[in-house]
Amino acid sequence: MQIMKHIVPVVSGKGGVGKSTVAANLAIALANTGAKVALIDADFYGPSVPTLFGGGNIQVDHEQKLIPPEKFGVKYVSLAFFLQNPDDAVIWRGPMFNKALNQLFQDVNWGNVDYCIVDMPPGTGDAQISLCQMTQLSGAVVVTTPQEVALADVRKAISMLGKMDVDVLGIVENMSGFIAPDGTRHDIFGSGGGVALAERLQVPLLAQLPLDPAIREGGDIGVPAITQEGSSISEPFSQLALKILEILDKKSHSGQQTAVVN
């Protein structure tokens, strides 16, 4: 039996807002606090975790369980590890998706895990429904950019979470302003959208992450921003992790059940 104390998906209705970036950096930030952390890439159609973590290989143990690679203190898996050619497209219908996602939880030798972060694909489709039905989720982290077109999709995602009885732990406003080298701030994707959404839903605003080329570069070269300890790009992710720890801790004390995987 493997126990995952908290399973937390990182979601958004919209693509490209930074779910994978937040999921990867959050997972590492949580591991930096000494916790046992797993990261599951559930974006089967556009897996990003292998790139963000600079690759990785799955091994098989004597019980035919899969041993996940571990880096930056995080154990992680992605469907991309099982594709013969990383550029292959995955063409699946719901039931196959369901089975594959289940296997990433059950057939992997995770050991006991404090926090399992799940990087979700955009939207409110098969992945979201499967995950909500399959596991006991502690709540979701919702990522948005400040602009209305992102917020509109995010509201849909939040409405779906409500229907599936999944709590929103809070909102992360990503790409929330670019600070130019001369120190001036440019709100490239608008401003205040995440704040307004959090207020309206009465959920915490967990972080406002800057738009910073170093965050993208870190992801592209497989060394996420959080690993640059003490820098202006790692600090917001550390703060985000601490806020999430606090919220989950309260939930544990209020009697929330832990998830048993297999």
Ligand X SMILES: Nc1ncnc2c1ncn2[C@@H]1O[C@H](COP(=O)(O)OP(=O)(O)OP(=O)(O)O)[C@@H](O)[C@H]1O
Interface residues with ligand X (CB under 6 A) are: 12, 15-21, 43, 46, 48, 121-122, 174-175, 209, 211-212, 215-216, 219
Single-letter residue type at 188: I
Closer to ligand X by Cβ: residue 20 or 261: 20
Integer Cα distance of 97 and 103 in angstroms: 10
- Give the other-Cβ count within 10 Å of 102's Cβ: 16
Closer to ligand X by Cβ: residue 30 or 66: 30
The reply on whether position 98 binds Mg ion by CB under 5 A is no
Closer to ligand X by Cβ: residue 65 or 156: 156
Question: What does the block give as tokens for 56?
Answer: 């990785």
Q: How far is CA 191 from CA 81, 116, 241, 255, in A?
A: 38, 31, 23, 37
User: At 160, which helix (H) or strand (E)?
Assistant: helix 148-163
The reply on whether position 48 binds Mg ion by CB under 5 A is yes
Q: How far is the CB of 198 from ligand X (least distance, A)?
A: 18
The SS3 of residue 142 is strand
Pick from Mg ion, ligand X, none: which does 175 bind, CB < 5 to 8 A by kind? ligand X
Q: How far is the CB of 102 from Mg ion (least distance, A)?
A: 20
- Give the other-Cβ count within 10 Å of 152's Cβ: 12
Closer to ligand X by Cβ: residue 175 or 248: 175
Pair 144, 154: CB distance under 8 Å = yes
Report the residue number whose CB is nearest to Mg ion.
20
Closer to ligand X by Cβ: residue 148 or 217: 217
Pick from ligand X, Mg ion, none: which does 17 bind, CB < 5 to 8 A by kind? ligand X
Q: How far is the CB of 67 from Mg ion (least distance, A)?
A: 24
Pick from ligand X, Mg ion, none: which does 138 bind, CB < 5 to 8 A by kind? none
Q: The tokens 């990261």 sit on which residue?
A: 39
The reply on whether position 19 binds Mg ion by CB under 5 A is yes
Pair 50, 219: CB distance under 8 Å = no
Pair 2, 261: CB distance under 8 Å = yes
Residues 223 to 242: which contact Mg ion by CB under 5 A?
none
Give the footprint of Mg ion on this chain (CB under 5 A): 19-20, 43, 48
